[in-house]
Structure 1
Amino acid sequence: MHLAVDVGNTDAVFGLYDTDTWRFVWRTPARPDEAAGSYEARLRLWLLEANLPLSAVQDTVLSSVVPNLTPTLRAMLGDLFGHEPVVVGPGVYPLLPLNILRPHEIGADLVANALAAYTRYQRNCIVVDFGTALTFTTVSGDGQILGVAIAPGLKTAIRSLFSNTAQLPEVPIQVPESALGLSTTHAIQAGIVLGYEGLVRSLIDRIRTELNGDCIAVATGGLSGQIPSLRDVFVDVIPSLTLDGVRLIGETVRAQKQP
């Protein structure tokens, strides 16, 4: 089995892949100040509950956009499974079938999204990732990352209102029945959830215009299904796409390094 770990600003996701499917996907908060032992204890417990020995994990790959957590989890994975994980970053990008824009600036998760989309579709594609940030990563059919657009994610926008205003509550992410909010909760949902529908459609249209219309779009991320009215924009909604990309990076790097 192959273990892929994707560490974002909100959650760390651990996925076990075997026989062309994700057998298990576990999610835990990503806390930079947490000791490696806490993550190890959780991973051991998940494997125990799945009735899997440590030896079932043949190789590991780590993608992280939280610099303080990267060495912690890298060491933990190496110690636990007895082999050094592949770490997604500029050091391995030359081994990938991608031409990566500004390799020392682009997030590892965006590279994973681009590789997964390129491998799956082999054509111009926008990956819209609904996470802590809302990101639009565009990859061409010949494997060039053409550019990225970044906006605050849905939860980030709502929490920003909640944290920076005295009287506005934190509200659930739900599509309201009307853009005319008749309560504070519905007003925030109208402004942010419906507003983000327009943002997503507008940016995808702008990118397609710049590429002369030849571009599909795919959605991923934990919140990718929160705005059902956007479903017609995407050829696919694949919550595991980032994990797929992390796994593919690990496979590609290991194949390139084999004698």
Structure 2
Amino acid sequence: MLLAVDAGNTNVVFAVHDGSEWRGRWRIATRPDRTSDEYAVWLLALLQFSGLKPTDVDRCAIGTVVPAALYNLRRLCREWFACEPLVARAAVDWGFEIRVDRPQEVGADRLLNSLAAHHHYGGPLVVIDFGTATTFDVVDTDGAYLGGVIAPGVNLSLEALHQAAARLPRIGIGRPQAVVGRDTVAAMQSGIYWGYVGMIEGIIGRIRGEQEAALKVIATGGLAPLFAEGTAVIDRIDPDITLEGLRLLAERNSAPNLTRTG
């Protein structure tokens, strides 16, 4: 079985795939100083609860945008699963060209999303990922990664608004009943929600204008369903697209040799 680890800025997602389906998905808050033993205590209990054992895992793959978290995630794979993890980075075999000026600077999550989206939906397409940042990644007909757009994430914008304006409260995100808010909270919710919908539609429109192609739009991330309600430009929601990218990358690349850590 494959243990896939998707380490983002906010959460680390662990998932196990048995070759035909995902057997479990679990998430924990990202904390770069969390040790491999801390991960293990938490993860092994969840595996046991799902009827799985550490010995069931024979491959590990890690995708992370938090370099400081990689060391302990590697140790977790080596010490508790006896596997050297495949780490998603520009140098591995992706099966497509990375047509940008500095491929090594592209976040692993963006390449993983592009790999899985093209595999499942073909191209050309755009993947919108509603994470800590909201990213738009463009994939060509042949699967090549062409670049994209990075914007502040929704929750990041909400927190910045609260921190920078003394009288504005901290609020949750939701689709407002009306565009014109009748109180402060409703006005803030409208600005964030419809502001992001406008950004999504505007950026997709400009990407389509530059690419001159009928691009499919795939959305992922926890807030994807909420924003898909407010716009017709999103064609499909796929919550597992990053994990699927890790699975496909592991299929394309042989397992690294195990390195023992002291």
Q: TM-score of the superposition, structure 2-length normalised?
A: 0.93
Tell me which residue corresponds to 2:2. 2
AA partner of residue 103 (structure 1): P
Q: Which moved more, 1:38-47 or 1:106-115?
A: 38-47
Shift of 1:91: 2.7
AA partner of residue 196 (structure 2): Y
> 1:101-137: per-residue Cα shift (whole Å, max 9, x none)?
2221100000000101121122101000011110000
Give the total of aligned pairs: 255
1:8–1:65 contact (8 Å) kept in structure 2: yes
Shift of 1:156: 0.9
Tell me which residue corresponds to 1:153. 153
Tell me which residue corresponds to 2:95. 97
| Runs (5+) with no aligned partner, structure 1 | none
1:221–1:242 contact (8 Å) kept in structure 2: no
Q: What aligned pairs does 1:18-57 form with structure 2 within 5 A after superposition?
A: 18-57=18-57
> 1:73-96: per-residue Cα shift (whole Å, max 9, x none)?
01111111111010111231xx12
Q: 1:191 to 1:231 in 2, by over 3 A?
A: closer
Shift of 1:19: 4.3
SS in 2 for 1:168: coil
SS in 2 for 1:226: helix
Q: 1:237 to 1:125 in 2, by over 3 A?
A: same
Q: 1:212 to 1:91 in 2, by over 3 A?
A: closer
1:2–1:17 contact (8 Å) kept in structure 2: yes
Equivalent-residue separation in structure 1 for 2:199 and 2:34 (angstroms): 35
SS in 2 for 1:40: helix
Q: What aligned pairs does 1:58-207 form with structure 2 within 5 A after superposition?
A: 58-92=58-92, 95-100=93-98, 101=100, 102-207=102-207
| Runs (5+) with no aligned partner, structure 2 | 258-262
SS in 2 for 1:142: coil
2:220–2:240 contact (8 Å) kept in structure 1: yes
SS in 1 for 2:68: coil
Q: 1:155 to 1:123 in 2, by over 3 A?
A: same
Equivalent-residue separation in structure 2 for 1:235 and 1:180 (angstroms): 27
Q: TM-score of the superposition, structure 1-length normalised?
A: 0.94
1:137–1:147 contact (8 Å) kept in structure 2: yes
CA RMSD of aligned residues (A): 1.6
SS in 1 for 2:224: coil
1:174–1:193 contact (8 Å) kept in structure 2: yes
2:59–2:255 contact (8 Å) kept in structure 1: no
Give the fraction of aligned pairs with identical amino acids, expressed as a percent. Answer: 38
SS in 2 for 1:38: helix
